[in-house]
Amino acid sequence: MVEIIPHDPHAFTQGLLIHNSKIYESTGLYGESSLRIINISTGEVEKIVNLTDEYFAEGIAIVNNSLIQLTWKENIGFLYNSSSLEIIGNFTYEGEGWGICSTANNNLWFSDGSFQISQKSSENFSISNDFLTIKYNNSPINRLNELECPFENSLIYANIWLEDRIVSISQSTGDVCFEYDFTNIRLEYENENSRELNGIAYDESSSLFLITGKNWSNYYLVDFNRSFQDCQIIEEVVVENNPSYLQYIVIIAVAIILMPFSWPTFVLVFYKLLRRQTQHPPPSGTTEKEREE
Ligand SMILES: [Ca+2]
């Protein structure tokens, strides 16, 4: 841990990101949902807009300088001007909205609490282009919640609902590359009303991560202290363990090429067997006639 910054303990954090050196935070619960801009040094709330009582706010992401905010079960996402927090539009989607993050090429990953995340383009937030199954030791891992997609690598960071754990995920395979457990930070520094960790924001300027949780007293600036190469190493191991179709084709081709060299051996074996058959006729034994004699 590098730094502790105060956090509103009444904020039921559902989304977190850093943009233009400001913290953006979405808070949930019906009647208490909001979108906030927060001073990254002091933790002071600089701007806040409250949602009406029928919406339970969830994850947030920035695309093309607009801020997107999801809602839990209301099937609607809101678009805001990222400076003024004025609503500039909305869109609908199917299923529940949990976490969201945007990638360097303007794609978005959506989580819904399951073991799958869906990808949508910034052109159309309502239609999913792709689904990624998240696997931990080759088994699907459930309850993926708040997301973060640092632009400088191909990893997705997700925290797990009801846990204080964050996993880093390969965007190409869905495999969990590494996990970070912040249970000790919550036990040591957090208030007794704090709920689970739910908020990951990557700070490009320092290459550090800011984390917080539901009703936490603090944000924590932490160094994940893992090289982004870790996931690439795992991906290479996975590829080695799972031969591709091309490798199978090569093995079969080599076998076919080598086949003619083994033919003389087969011919010799068959020839010897045939000769043994002719040299040593099957024992006739005693015929019924000889026995009678
Ligand atoms: Ca985030």
pLDDT recorded at residue 215: 98
pLDDT recorded at residue 269: 67
pLDDT recorded at residue 71: 98
Q: What is the Å distance from ligand 1's center to 21 Cα?
A: 14
Mean per-residue pLDDT, 124-128: 90
CA distance 44 to 219: 12
pLDDT above 70 (res 292): no
**C-beta of residue 209 within 8 angstroms of C-beta of residue 225:** no
Whole-prediction pTM:
0.79
Q: 140 — phi, psi (to 5°)?
A: -60, 140
The tens digit of pLDDT for each residue in 252-284 reads 776 777 776 666 765 676 677 777 766 655 444
Q: What is the Å distance from ligand 1's center to 110 Cα?
A: 11
Q: What is the Å distance from ligand 1's center to 192 Cα?
A: 24
Q: What is the Å distance from ligand 1's center to 268 Cα?
A: 71
**Block residue for tokens 């990953």:** 109
Q: What is the Å distance from ligand 1's center to 104 Cα?
A: 14
Q: What is the Å distance from ligand 1's center to 166 Cα?
A: 11
pLDDT above 70 (res 234): no
Count CB neighbours of 63 within 10 A: 18
- As a whole-number percent, the residues of the chain with pLDDT over 90 amount to 72
Q: What is the Å distance from ligand 1's center to 161 Cα?
A: 14
Higher pLDDT, 109 or 291: 109
Q: What is the Å distance from ligand 1's center to 169 Cα?
A: 14
Q: What is the Å distance from ligand 1's center to 87 Cα?
A: 20
Q: What is the Å distance from ligand 1's center to 60 Cα?
A: 7
Q: What is the Å distance from ligand 1's center to 239 Cα?
A: 30
Q: What is the DSSP string of 112-180?
A: -SSSEEEEEETTBTTS--EEEE-EETTEE---EEEEE--TTSSEEEEEETTSSEEEEEETTT-BEEEEE
Retrieve residue 136's tokens: 């931990």
**C-beta of residue 166 within 8 angstroms of C-beta of residue 158:** yes
pLDDT recorded at residue 241: 53
Confidence of residue 285 (pLDDT cuts 50, 70, 90): very low
Mean model confidence pLDDT for the chain? 88
Most trustworthy range by pLDDT among 51-55, 103-107, 148-152, 265-269: 51-55
Q: What is the Å distance from ligand 1's center to 168 Cα?
A: 13
pLDDT above 60 (res 10): yes
Q: What is the Å distance from ligand 1's center to 273 Cα?
A: 74
Q: What is the Å distance from ligand 1's center to 233 Cα?
A: 25
Domains and CATH numbers, the chain: 3-241 (2.130.10.10), 252-292 (no CATH)
Retrieve residue 222's tokens: 């932490």
**C-beta of residue 102 within 8 angstroms of C-beta of residue 88:** no
